[in-house]
Structure 1
Amino acid sequence: MSKVINKAYFESFSNAALMLLSFEAVMDAIEVVSDGAEIREFDETYVGLVGASLALSVLFERQTGSDASMVSGEHLAQERRHLLEGGEPPTFSIPIVNTPREPLRPEVFDHLTTLQLASASFNYADKVFETISNHSPHALEMAEARVSSLDAVTALRSLVLRLAGGSMTDLAKHAAKITGPSSETLQ
């Protein structure tokens, strides 16, 4: 049974794996051409380049939130208009994803039920885990991980305060029961 190689297939890979796959496919193609061979439709090198194209499309969408084929088509249309009509050359803008730069305010979590609060905390923490585990630490992913981490702690803090009775005093009473009267720590 053979695998269908399409964009959905590549969406399960991390950014680093997609970049390496693309690099290897391009290097294989360079080697084939350098050796004087031709790349033929549906041969191993051709299929590798198609895979690299799909992998790069997935990376582009992750980084920009846009479809690479559509953006490329828009750039081609701009270039054609420029060649036919003249004038200033096109700028070829690339869309970017707006990652939240600031974490949510604690009040945002006040209206959530206890289960929703626990779920929100888990989801933000899981997002941090996934971002750090599955993606190379580029600024965009790390900014997202930072914000999600802060939101996870804020949601968890709100949950713990709610479960403790709602105030820092109530929380301190519960913490004293858990840790005991001494200030010793487990070693």
Structure 2
Amino acid sequence: MFQLLWCPNVHWDPPAPHADVSPVAEIRWRNSADLTRILASPPLPVRQEDPDFGYTPAPCMLTPVPLVDFPYPQTLPDKDLVKAVREYVEATGDGGDVITKVSGIKFGGWRTWHLTDPYDILCLTCGAPCRLLFTVASDDTTAITVGRWGDFRIFAYPAGEGHGYTFDLH
């Protein structure tokens, strides 16, 4: 079981590897068979800033569904494929990053680039490119707002544990 714990307050000078002005988070991997007691009513977080800033998730049910998302078109190796993807985006969306900008919460997949051009997120230990592990994206349906309608992303080193995680607010 993947467990993400985060402080709902803005941290203007967070510890590495957290993004500036983002929640400070901790990841725990647990064996669900080891969980013997579940809190019926978890404690409410203590807020220190404007509650509309968006780091306190509203209670909601998460239902896993298979989802296909695509890499940002400019990162594709084939120019004909880039052209086809751009045509698809124009035909089905508003011309923005509708292919990688998936609302809600997702494991894995491709990262969104709706605010910047693509760049590698590097491991803070060895400098190798990291892979996207988890995204919490702003979404009306789940009543989640991250920062200014952005994404809270967690990246992991692909070769294994021990390198930690890199957190990003995009």
- Assess same fold via TM > 0.5: no
> Normalising to structure 2: TM-score of the pair?
0.20
Q: Which has the larger radius of gyration?
A: 1
Name the structure, 1 or 2, with higher relative contact order (CA <8 Å, separation 6+): 2
> Normalising to structure 1: TM-score of the pair?
0.18
Higher helix share: 1
